[in-house]
Structure formats: structure tokens, C-alpha cells
Structure 1
Amino acid sequence: MKKYILTLPLLFVSIISMAQAVSTPLKPGRTPEGVVYFLPKTVFQLNLLVEKKTYKPGEFCKYAEKFLRLSGIAQEEEVTHSIVSYGLTPVGVRDTSKCYTVMLKGKSATAEVKLSDDGVLQAVNAEPAKVKVKEPFKPAPRKAPVDSKQYLSAEVLSAGSVAKMAELTVQQILEIQNHRQMLISGEAEDVPTDKDQLQLMIDQLDKEREALMSMFLGTTTRDTVEQVITICPEKEVKREVVFRLNKKIGLVDKDDLSGIPYYMNIEDEHHTTLQKYDIPENKKDGGFFVNVPGRIKFTLLREDHQLASFNLYAAQFGFVELRSGSLFKRYVTHMTLNPVTGSVETIHADMPTK
């Protein structure tokens, strides 16, 4: 953590102030004069699932049209990337522009003030709210590649040319299809009486046919990874490039013109959960500053097509208010803050019983 030098006049002012902003960040924590703390700002993690698709042509791909009447089969290896999912996760980080000090006296003199590791106020006389952690993406296990040649008949393997092998493989595929149909209709000589055994035989024939067809159609493998882009909005934006996607190599920097641009709009909806109001001077003594976040709309676009839209609250689009010091000084008061926005989640005081 960086250390800051505070001039003596400013230090004197911050000590005698019971609850006011500190213009130069101090080291957060309890001091003999009070407690120094920060409030958070809200950043957004744009979670992208990027799929890498790799196509490899089959050994008989150039004979697909001749023997199977399939046109347009690619004969060169090809790698493409696409985005298959979008998500937005809000996260709270320390806002160095919101550093405050509060002197504790009266009932608050022994208050338990809990700060995060980087000095953000989490709770007073209470347990901090639990931070919701997004589960990282776990790709599905990849299937083991199938060796198509293991299903080729001896006749195919002994053929004298690739063209002849392709022709005989098509005949083998047709024989598999015919056998499958006869099993289903009950006309095959080897139809088992057990239904489960029959299904196993059909599944095996399907597997063989798919493997042999891949020698003409090629194979495609898919690998999906999660990539995270952190966004820290401070104001409204319109069609700002947030990242680019190059279909051949994946995500690239937003300044890399080889990629297709993806844009974001951030709209301030000018809505908060509370209205801003003035606090009388006699109630500022010993109070805690908290955030009142504002609601924004985040939109992700490609060209003019809207891909995703999110409505969220962000600390920096609202304002800061002071929770009256009289409450903390007169009673043991329990308060927890939202770790993402710095707003009050719960607050109550232990009132004396009569």
C-alpha cells in the first residue's frame, strides 16, 4: 500500500472533524483519534464465453460430392472464434476519492468497526455481508477423438487407391444403414430378444456410421473458455468500443482493427433508493458516511444489434450521505454495508428497555 504524507494543518483539521472527507488518503484503520475508512466504487466484470471451433477435413473430403452428393465440404483446416454467452458481474473496489475519518465517543467509543483488507468500510458492530463470488466457468470434458480407420473393413484397407477406398467406404456406410433398419424392423437374423441389447447394437452401428462419415465430412472440435473484461464506468457513454473479436484468433485489444468491434452503452437512469438531503451540523458529529448508489443501464452491442442489457446499481452514479452520529453515540448501533455499492443493507440500534 502506498504511504501518503499529510501536512500538519490538514492532519489537525481531520482530527478535530468528527465525520468528514479526508482529501489526502490516510492509512485506513483505527487510530487514537478515530477510524479512517474508504467507501467502494462499483466496477463491472464482463464475463464472455468464447468458443474456439476447429474444423479438420476428412481423408476422403474431396470425394464427398462424387460418392455422397454432398457439396460445399471444406477441404482445408479452419479455426473460428465466436462469443456464445455474455454476463455482467458487479464488484466493489476501494474508491480512493472517498476516504473518511470518524471519531468515536459515547456509545460508539468501543464500536467494532470492520474494514476489508484494503480499508473499505464493511460493518459496524456487526458481521460483514457475505460477498457473492461468481463461480468460474468449467468446460465440459472433451470426448476422446475417434479413430475412424478402426472401423474400415479389410476390403477398404486393401484397396489400391484413395478414390477406391472412398468408394468402398460409402458401400460400407450403406450396409451399416441397411443393417440398422433391419434390426429395427425385426428382419435381421441377429435381432436380440432383449430390448437393451438391441439398443446397444443400434448405438454401436450409429457410432460406426458417424465415424466413417467423418472421413468425408471432417471433424469439428469445440473449446470454450471464459474471458473477463473489467469496466469501471464514471459517466454515461454511447457506443464506446469495449473489445474486438477476431474470428481467427479470438479476443483482441479494442484498438486492434483486425477485430469486429463490440460496443457498450452506459445510461444513467438518475434513480436512487433515497433522496439527498442536508444533515444538521449537530448530527454530523460521530456519524458514518455511506453510499447511496444510482441505477444505470448497461447495453452490449455488435454493430446495431443489441446482444445483452443489464440494469444495475453503481456507487459512483449516486451520492454519499451521512448516517447521523447521534444514533451511534447514544445507542449501540449495528450496521452492515453492501460490499459492491457501499449502501446500507441493515441498520438497527439496541434501544434501552423501560
Structure 2
Amino acid sequence: MASISGISLSPDLSSALGSLDESTRFLKISIRDEQLVPDGLHAAQGSLSDDLSALDTLLEDAVPAYVLARLDDAAGWLLIDYVPEGSRIRDKMLYASTRGALTRALPSPPADTLYATTRQDISATGYAAHLTHLKAPKPLSAREKEMEEVKAAERAAGLNTRPTPSPGAFGGSGVGLQWDDALQEAVKALGEADAEGVVTASIEAGSEKLVYVEAADISADELKSKISTTDPSFAFFNYTGGSQPQVVFIYACPSSSPIKHRMLYSAGAASVFSTAKSLLPTGRLAPRKLETSDPTELGSKFFKDELGSASESTSRTGTPGAGSGGFARPRGPARRTR
């Protein structure tokens, strides 16, 4: 089974996964020669918390790895996604884009996932903090509380529709979306990359949570192959065609997609852009947000046209994206102006 990054499971790893038993506490998995390979075993000695200190010898300070950790009381497996802060950018992207293939190859889905960037994250203290975080109620912002009240009112009235979000993609704060950890790490890694690449995200049905879909090292002209032409989606593309690399936020909203989906993505777009800005280094996120109803038009010309016009706007007004503050609209005879 190959991942979107082209990484596949080695026969040795398939065999190791098939032979895991209750005596195994940790199985380290690494990427070598474009394959996922077993890279170390550790037998259970005590509880999981007691055994975590063994990871000090299994893991390296600046080299990513996955670790399958057997939970206590036959509760399944914990997948540790270890991507230390000092890792090479390419390695960060590679491990982020391969995680899905590894998860699908496991005998059963992991009971829990722990994202670690330091050794402290995978210590007994760090794991205890992780468990506390899982049990803690998630605080809601004022906007999220408002949306919960709206949904509760809809349920009480027996409705399946929601009010039109306002103001949505073209201004205001819109709907606040919670990001999963994998997406945050992938976008941060993209912001440190020198080469072109993309991270895509979607809103999880029913939860209004923004989740990681995939990451790939691709050029601007290959971008269209990663964007759905039937469903709305968000993408972050590291564009290198300007004077310096910039991460460009793209909201793709195919005109044939269901209206309810378009409303939800439109309402969430502004907050997604705002969150991305807080995750990336200052100035790394392009100030101009791009929207398209036809993902097939995405390419190097698209970016030159749109980001070029943003530069012209800056030189005229002194403010990036001055004007409405909304999303840039790709030009062309096939597009309608609003």
C-alpha cells in the first residue's frame, strides 16, 4: 500500500505488524529507501508510563519516526508521531504525508494518537498531560457558542438547514473551526519549506472541525491534481514564483458542490486564514486570499496573475489587498463578477 508521498510498507514491516503480541511495548517505524520499515522493538517491562523512558534510546533528537505503543490492559495501540523541531523540512513533510498510509495498514485503527515535537512530549509527564487534555472539555469561543445555539434551535425545530453565514468568506470572522494537530504541524512545516508544495484540509462532517487531508511536494502546475473538483476544500500552497516563498491560502468551491457545503466553507474561510496567519512566521502567509470555483484553472499562470495584481495593489495603496479585504477573484471570460 503506497501513500500519497509514494512511500510503501516494506515486507519486513508487514511481517512485524502481523507478529505483534502482548509482550511488545514499542515498535519504532522509520522511512528508508522510500519504504516504511521496522526500526526497533522494546518489550513491555511495566506500565506504559513506566516504559516511556525506553524511547530515549529508540529515538533520535532530530530524526522523525513513528512509534506504535501498546496501551495497558489490552486497550489497543497508541500511535506516536514523533517529528522533532530540529528535523529537516523535507522529512517533516514526508512523515506528515505518509501517516495516513501507515494508519490504514495497521491491523486495527490506533486507539489514540500522540503528536510529539520534543522528548518531553513522550515522557511520562508529557503523556499524562496528553491524557488530561483529552479528558478536558473543549472551550468554546463566543462564535462557537452561538453556532451551538443555532444548531440546537434547528434540532428543536426539526430543521436540517442552517442560516446563511454572515459575512462568511468575504469579510468578518465567520465560523471558528478547530484544527486537528496533524494539520497544524503540516502547515507549520510548509511555512519552513523552500520548495513548492501543498497541504490540503477539509471540514469534518458533523463536527465543524478542520482536518488534515494530505501534503505533497508538487509544483504550481501540478496543484490542480490535488484539489477536488466536486467538493469544497481549503489548500495551503507554498508558492516560490515571487521574490520570496509565500504560503498562499486557497478556498476552492466548485460550483457543482452542494449549497450547504459551500455555505459552511464560506463561513469558515476567514477564520481558517486567521489561524494560519498565527501558525506561520510573520510575513510568510500571502496577504491575498485566493478563491476559485474551477480548481482546474490552478497553475503557475493563475498565481502570477493573482499575486502579481496583489503586488500592484500594494504599490498603489501601500496596503496589501486593499479594498474589500475579501478573497481575490481569478479573472477570465468564464468567470462572473459579483
Q: Structure with the greater relative contact order (CA < 8 A, sep ≥ 6): 1 or 2?
A: 1
Q: TM-score, normalised by structure 1?
A: 0.22
Q: TM-score, normalised by structure 2?
A: 0.23
Greater strand content? 1
